[in-house]
Amino acid sequence: MSDGFQLQAQGPEAYERYLVPAFFDPCASELLELAAPAAGDRVLDLACGTGVVARRLAARVGTPGTVVAVDVNPQMLAFATSAAGPAPIEWRSADAAALPLDDAAFDLVCCQQGLQFFRDQAGALREAHRVLVPGGRIAVAVWRPIEHNPAFVVFADALDHHVGAEAAAMMRAPFSGPDREQLRRLLVEASFSEVHIRIASILVRFPSPREFLRQEVVSSPLAGPVGALDPPRLAALGEELDRVMEPYADDDGTVLPMQTWLIGARRQ
């Protein structure tokens, strides 16, 4: 991921096992449809996390192409390297706003759900512009604000009630990125052209609200504050989640409708 979102210990393994299939693989499908990588493309994946986008890019660009995947989290990169197996991906530890990469080295830059965590969003986009060839493309996915992902509003509120403001802030953080006009301005100010922004929707499913809680906790920084709850407080959190997430229940479990911005642009 990026410098604003860090996992420790077994976090990356759980992240890949639970959150990637639920959230990030479906989002990657939307992002790659926008990015349209072609055989032979040289591609950079920013905030690669456990490598879901990088692996799919490598399959698309083939042996004539190249994929470089960048993240600041050493645990994420270590897991991504092992999970990729023989896929021809170069894994690099770097800050997105200070890339140790040559000018005009890539045809395509992708960034899935990382921009909102960058401390220097403008700097990261300037760096993406620098490493692209003239006419090169960028494809970015950023979750829309939390009010457009209402299941997470009630989830964050329940964390606030039973765990505390810090845990609630962790849940809200992925949805705190730039809005549509801020995204457009950031890209234009980084000298990108042909900026196009659209909304994509995905449905995320879990067996129950409590299983959603468990998978989020073991896969994210919520492990600390939620893991510190005593049994009565943890039970109370589960009971509130069952109640407030009832509107998102169907016969198969819990359904979370989600919306993300998809942003495409070109280097001038």
| CATH code, 125 | 3.40.50.150
Residue 66 lies in a domain: yes
Model pLDDT for residues 142-160, shown as the tens digit of each residue = 999 999 999 999 999 999 9
Q: What is the pLDDT of residue 1?
A: 38
Residue ranges making up the domain that contains 25: 11-146+176-206+253-267
Q: What percent of the chain has pLDDT over 70?
A: 96
Which DSSP state fits 5? B
In a domain, 217, yes or no: no
> Alpha carbon 152 to chain centroid distance?
15
Q: Does some domain include residue 243?
A: no
| Structural domains in the chain (count) | 1
Q: Buried b / exposed e across 147-185, counting CB within 10 Å, b at 16+?
A: ebbebbbbbbebbbebbeeebbebbbbbbebbeeeebbe
Find the DSSP H helices in 114-263.
121-131, 150-162, 165-172, 180-189, 209-219, 223-227, 231-244
Question: Does residue 222 fall inside a structural domain?
Answer: no
β-strand partners of 200: 260
For residue 239, what pLDDT is reported?
Answer: 97
31-70 per-position pLDDT tens digit: 999 999 999 999 999 999 999 999 999 999 998 999 999 9
Over 80: is that where the pLDDT of 221 sits? Answer: yes
Residue 231 placed within a domain: no
Tell whether the model's pLDDT for residue 4 goes beyond 90: no
Is 142 within a domain?
yes
The answer as to whether 5 is a domain residue is no
Confidence at residue 10, expressed as pLDDT on a 0 to 100 scale: 61
pLDDT at 102 over 70: yes
Would 130 be classed as within a structural domain? Answer: yes
Q: Say what the pTM is.
A: 0.93
Res 7 pLDDT > 80: no
9 has pLDDT over 60: no
Rounded CA separation 245/254 (Å): 8
Three-class secondary structure of residue 26 per DSSP: helix
Residue 8 has pLDDT above 70, yes or no: no
Q: What is the pLDDT of residue 263?
A: 98
Q: What is the average per-residue pLDDT within 98-116? A: 98
Q: Name the pLDDT band for 3 (thresholds 50, 70, 90).
A: very low
